[in-house]
Amino acid sequence: MITSNPFSDLSAMIPAAGMQAYVVLMFLLVVGGTLLDVRHKRSAQYFFENKQRAEAAKERTLGTGTKFSVAIKTLATDILASAEFTNQKRRLAHLLTMYGFILFVVTTVIMIFGYASADAATPVLWPLLWHLGALMVCVGGYWFWFKMRVDVAAEGHPWYQVMRADLFVLSLLATTTLALVWSLFQSMGPGVLTTLFFGLFVIASTTLFGTVLWSKFAHMFFKPAAALQKRLAEADGSRDNLPAPADQPAQFGLGIKRELPQHY
């Protein structure tokens, strides 16, 4: 199972071109959903206005070398290592999910575009990494969902009470879980269960990539920009001169008040 390319076996039912077209469509949905999210939430406007305030409040001008150094530090610390999580269990769960998702997506693209035809021999490495990535997402995601869920726990909601903000993690878990189950049945040969779980896998992945506007998917694109802006503000001294963030609970859609996240 873990050494075979499930998309290669699938080519007997769906041509490689069809699978590739689906991947391209999902990519376009992510791009379009992210752009709509930026417009709807005015994220670009927020970053631009915040940059202007920081520019006016800065105490020193950073050179190109300093900016490059700050960017490298941001990449290594805030993005690759998720240093904003001081709770080490939460950090580990996040890293497992993040790197597992990257592995899963990259190897899916490689196997579909490079080895989806039935006569193409897939190197063992790619299906191994594909299954490993899906498993990492499941371990990190289910660990978070059942044991952590920081914000929801702070509000007193049980794990089974689902909110719209949970759409991303739930659709991601559904996608990787169903991918593993489908791969298992696919390795056993064609059958009703193979077709059923493949269909559920497609529905889950379409939900994941097609609901960017309503989920927290786009957050992964905003996070690096926010982290870099924060470190640059610290380096040029503007962060110390900006107004302190409000310590009152924020208001989120429909007038529902939520407590501040308890990241620790």
The secondary structure of 76-115, three-state, reads HHHHCCCCCCCCHHHHHHHHHHHHHHHHHHHHHHHHHHHH
Residues present in the chain in total: 264
Distance, in Å, from the CA atom of 253 to the CA atom of 230, rounded to the nearest integer, reads 26
Do 43 and 213 touch, CB atoms closer than 8 A?
Answer: no
pLDDT at residue number 71 = 87
Average pLDDT over residues 116-125: 86
Distance, in Å, from the CA atom of 153 to the CA atom of 146, rounded to the nearest integer, reads 10
Do 11 and 137 touch, CB atoms closer than 8 A?
Answer: no
Q: What does the pLDDT look like over 169-227, one tens digit per residue?
A: 999 999 999 999 999 999 888 899 999 999 999 999 999 999 988 877 777 767 777 78
Do 89 and 105 touch, CB atoms closer than 8 A?
Answer: no
Domains of the chain from N-terminus onward: 6-237 (1.20.950)
Q: What does the pLDDT look like over 137-148, one tens digit per residue?
A: 999 999 998 887
End-to-end CA distance of the chain: 39
Percent of the chain with pLDDT over 70: 80
Amino acid at 57: A
User: Token pair of 170, please?
Assistant: 């739930």
Task: Please give the torsion angle defined by the CA atoms of residues 236, 239, 243 and 245, in that order, rounded to the nearest 10 degrees.
Answer: 160
pLDDT at residue number 87 = 81
Compute the mean pLDDT over every residue in the chain, rounded to the nearest whole number. 81
